[in-house]
Amino acid sequence: MLKATIDAEIFRESIDAIAALVTECRLHTAEDQIRTRSVDTANVAMVSLELQSTAFNSFSATAGELGLDIAKMKNIIGMMGKGDALTLTLLDEERKLELSFGGYRYSISLLDVNTIRKDPNPPGIDLPGKAVVPGDALNNAIKAAAVISDKIALGIDPDAMTFYMEAEGDTDHIKLALGEDELVALSPVQARSLFSIDYLKDMGRVMARADKVEVYLGIDHPVRFVFDIADGNGRVEYLLAPRIEAD
């Protein structure tokens, strides 16, 4: 069962965070929250999202599982006005979801959850390096690197006390180092891994809206990004596998 009302903008933010990686997902409802955890088709990246009941204007739910077509959700979001309140209601023994906003009633068939990949288990990895970075600085650095390469290195230099990103083109090289003044916080543990720009670009667009993003790093290890949505009533986590550094 689900009957909940939420600000259209918060719903948009949540769907965008998921849409950066997947086009469909299993949404789990519980008495006090909704959440999803999905990996992309290439098994390279994972997104986890939790939205507490406090993120909603009103929220009433029991434990359940919904198959969401994320691409379709993005279309519907495009119809909503800025201040709209969106009411989500499960219909027809949980086979249809109704979205009501500003006079519109939109009902959509849910996907059969058995056709969607099971929730992945989060890998147990130790990422000792940590930097807390303004979301827009992170996104700008990713966009800058994308101009010259399809790979970007993220790292922490404990001696210089900086979080840095670095990219290498055929004839050019770019490096952005953020020191203590530009960072919210830094755990100065040596770290450096190489990542695919394609994934980071989509994540970066979402993270650009976050005041601060926790970035967890190791050496040739995945990166984990964690940030709040919905004024702290929700949380998003991205995990991205590293690429092998070529000589």
Q: Which stretch binds a copy of itself (CB under 8 A): 10-18, 48-56, 144-152, 186-194?
A: 144-152
**CA dist., res. 52 & res. 180, Å (int):** 32
Using CB under 8 A, which of 32, 109, 160, 231 touches a copy of itself?
Answer: 109
Of 11-19, 34-42, 57-65, 171-179, the segment contacting a copy of itself by CB under 8 A is 171-179
What is the length of the chain? Answer: 247
Tell whether residue 219 is a contact of a copy of itself (CB under 8 A): no
Q: Which is nearer to a copy of itself, 104 or 231 (CB)?
A: 104
Q: How far apart are CA 15 and CA 77, in angstroms?
A: 9
Contact 153, 192 (CB under 8 A): yes
Regarding 107 and contact with a copy of itself (CB under 8 A), the answer is yes
Q: Which is nearer to a copy of itself, 55 or 178 (CB)?
A: 178
Q: What are phi and psi of 231, to 5 degrees?
A: 55, 40
Question: Toward a copy of itself, which CB reaches closer, 6 or 145?
Answer: 145
The β-bridge relationship of strands 191-196 and 234-240 is unpaired
Binding mask 47-86 for a copy of itself (x = CB under 8 A): ----------------------x--x--xx-xx-------
Judged by CB under 8 A, the residue of 40, 87, 128, 143 near a copy of itself is 143
Does the protein bind a copy of itself through residue 174 (CB under 8 A)? yes
Of 205, 200, 241, 236, the closest CA to residue 223 belongs to 241
Q: Is residue 32 involved in binding a copy of itself (CB under 8 A)?
A: no
Q: Which of 54, 69, 66, 75 is nearest to 5 (CA)?
A: 54
Element (H, E) at 168: strand 162-168
Examine residue 172 and tell whether it contacts a copy of itself (CB under 8 A).
Answer: yes
Query: Would strands 223-229 and 33-39 be described as parallel, antiparallel, or unpaired?
Result: unpaired
Task: Figure out which of the listed residues 113, 148, 161, 208 binds a copy of itself, where binding follows CB under 8 A.
Answer: 148
- Element (DSSP H or E) covering residue 235: strand 234-240
| Residues of the shown chain interacting with a copy of itself in the complex, contacts defined by CB under 8 A | 69, 72, 75-76, 78-79, 103-109, 140, 143-144, 147-148, 171-178, 182
